[in-house]
A = this chain, B = another copy of it.
Amino acid sequence: MASVSAHELAKKQKEISVAEFFERNKHILGFGNQTRALITSVKEGVDNGLDACEEANILPDIYVEIKNHEDGECRIIIEDNGPGVVKKQIPHIFGRLLYGSRFHAIRQSRGQQGIGISAVVLYGQLTTGKHAKIISKVETDRPAVVNEIAIDTNKNRAEVISRDTIHWDKPTGTRVEISIMADFKRGKRFVYDYLQSTSIVNPHAQIIYKEPDGTEHIFERTSEVLPRKAVEIKPHPYGVELGTLIKMAKHTKARQLNSFLKTEFSSMGDRTTNMAIEKAGLEKNLNPKEMTREQFLALHKAFKKVKIMAPSTDCLSPIGETLIKRSLKHETQEISPEFIITASRPPSVYSGNPFQVEVGLVYGGNLPKEESVKILRFANRVPLLYQQGGCVITQAISSIDWRRYGLTQPSGKGIPTGPAIFITHVSSTLIPFTSESKEAIADVPEIENEIKLAFRECARKVQQHINKKVRRAKTREKFDLITRILPEIAKKSAHMLGKPVPPLDPIITKIMDVVWIEDLIEYESVKREPVQTTLTENQPEQKEGVITKSQIMIVNYKHTPQKFNLYAVIPQDAVVGTVSPKPSKITNNYIKWNLDTIPPANKIDIVFELAGLSKGDFDENDLYIENINPTYVIGADKWEGD
């Protein structure tokens, strides 16, 4: 064979349009087979709807319908009550890949790349040859517009096949109808699971889902409060790449280095800016557009040498421990697990992108003992259904030795076996997914580490919980024995000796020799006015509220008087009501009492009420003590500080 010259090869070289690229690589976008295609299509539509509503401060009402034709063709209909899409943007948003509003913003959102929904349109066109139908209404007193859209994949541009206006009852909103080849029979269960999981982590959304046979599932809204809106932030100097720094300097409106740094980056005040410029050996009034690569390099290195405040985490919108616990309770009510424990890490940063990890662990009950633990993964409130094996969450869980927590795990590595569910939620301004199908998170060391720390904290709490239970059970045995037998003996002895029954308290305290803390939680229903947070049309009806009432009894069974401080940890989103006796401090996280001296054999009763929680959100007190030897106390641990 003769060799082929570069000139011959050159003839074949040409540009590939991004639409062609994804058309050929549809598995990368989650359309690898017809089951996946179904779920991906629903997912992209619902994610878009939720994002749009939240961006416009509207409580989301999402409607999903699937119509199934005989020959494997499904029509997917997804409707939201969001702000709608203005007419001239419709072709771009639905008929063009890599077009959107969220890519250039540093802020937590579900969609980011401007690929999702247009990929569904592309897949539909590829497999059924049909056009997508988009209905959008942007103003209450105007008609809606209807567009039929196709994608010219060679150009990655939309073709508008038809355009019309119609009357639509909704005040505003978007409705998407796309025909795709999909396997409803196999995908049915996954679509339901996906919508259920989505509803769990988005309690502010109502989702109605109609199956091809007419069955309607309603996933109710369980919270009338929109999640805290994630704020857009500027890049943080710690995470900015040298190349990005150079590019930003090219495009800035600032004329001087110091104003460039202060206006284009987050956490850069006067002091930090000056320090960075000084460490870099540069001048404040340099024109950023005229800086050399070496100057940028010096500046980039100087960033790392200066202590710069972490980026603001307003851009994140975590779910919160209470909600995670509630979700897990909801998810596991038929299992009646032994305990549910959650942990939440403080926000952290990878490559300048803020992120936060929240985890939960359900143990025992009717969960299967011989199977691998169930792993539930969420990213920015979106459930991740596929690629579990390739996800950093799985990797982090697999790297922890779970054997000492009662789970089976050969050689202390891998997914443990046992009656447990592990839930993980990662929120970030940029979730580093392994591919555009957004099914698994890449193995970024910072994220892996935070997940590990969160689960270790969880595991510690499990351990504490078990220890506490064991110690308490032992002491109670002793206690029961004493309080049952001692009076008998005293009575009999007194009778035999013809003497009065002696006071038993000093003896009991002598034998017990502990401070005993017990608690009880009760829920009281109250009618409450819903908090009016949004401009939704439908006035929400009055709903049942719950007051969580916690009663704590402290008995001093030691033979000397005791005086110490008590802390009761409370959920961040609880509102503290009546507290008795008067606490010395109430924070977001705890109530603190400087207790009066308790004489031997005496007791103190404490009561506090919490509002803003659902029944069962707070079902066990987490108590800590201070200024007393913790080994004296049963029912509370040593306070380690805020």
Chain A residues with CB under 8 Å of chain B are: 1-7, 9-10, 12-18, 20-21, 23-25, 27-28, 32-33, 52, 55-58, 71, 83-86, 88-89, 92-93, 96, 98-105, 113-114, 125-130, 136, 138-139, 153, 172, 226, 229, 241-244, 246-247, 293, 296-297, 301, 370-371, 387-391, 394-395, 410-411, 417, 430, 432-437, 440, 442-445, 533-535
Whether the Cβ atoms of B130 and A15 lie closer than 8 Å is no
Whether the Cβ atoms of A535 and B13 lie closer than 8 Å is no
Cα distance, A89 to B113, chains bound together (Å): 29
User: Which chain B positions have C-beta within 8 A of A100?
Assistant: 13-14, 16
User: Which chain B positions have C-beta within 8 A of A410?
Assistant: 410, 417
User: Which chain B positions have C-beta within 8 A of A229?
Assistant: 1
- Lowest 6 CB-CB distances: which A-B pairs, in order? A390-B390, A389-B389, A435-B435, A126-B243, A6-B138, A12-B101
Whether the Cβ atoms of B129 and A297 lie closer than 8 Å is yes
Given A55-B9, A56-B3, A435-B435: A394 and B389 interface contact (C-beta under 8 Å): yes
15 contacts between A and B (CB under 8 A): A5-B56, A6-B138, A6-B172, A9-B83, A12-B105, A13-B100, A14-B100, A17-B98, A23-B243, A32-B442, A126-B241, A126-B243, A129-B293, A387-B434, A390-B434
Contact of A243 among B14, B55, B71, B125 (CB under 8 A): B125
User: Which chain B positions have C-beta within 8 A of A534?
Assistant: 1, 3
User: Which chain B positions have C-beta within 8 A of A395?
Assistant: 389
User: Which chain B positions have C-beta within 8 A of A21?
Assistant: 98, 103, 113
User: Which chain B positions have C-beta within 8 A of A2?
Assistant: 57, 535
Whether the Cβ atoms of B16 and A114 lie closer than 8 Å is yes
Cα distance, A51 to B136, chains bound together (Å): 49
Whether the Cβ atoms of B434 and A3 lie closer than 8 Å is no
Q: Contacts A14-B100, A128-B242 given; 4 further ones with Cβ under 8 A?
A: A9-B83, A10-B85, A32-B442, A32-B443
User: Which chain B positions have C-beta within 8 A of A86?
Assistant: 6-7, 10
Please give me the residue from chain B that is nearest to A102 by CB atom: B12
Cα distance, A411 to B415, chains bound together (Å): 14
A385 to chain B, nearest CB (A): 13
A310 to chain B, nearest CB (A): 20
User: Which chain B positions have C-beta within 8 A of A98?
Assistant: 15-18, 21
A272 to chain B, nearest CB (A): 22
Contact of A56 among B9, B20, B28, B105 (CB under 8 A): B9
User: Which chain B positions have C-beta within 8 A of A436?
Assistant: 25, 28, 435
Cα distance, A139 to B125, chains bound together (Å): 46
User: Which chain B positions have C-beta within 8 A of A247?
Assistant: 153
Contact of A113 among B25, B242, B411 (CB under 8 A): B25
Whether the Cβ atoms of B24 and A430 lie closer than 8 Å is yes
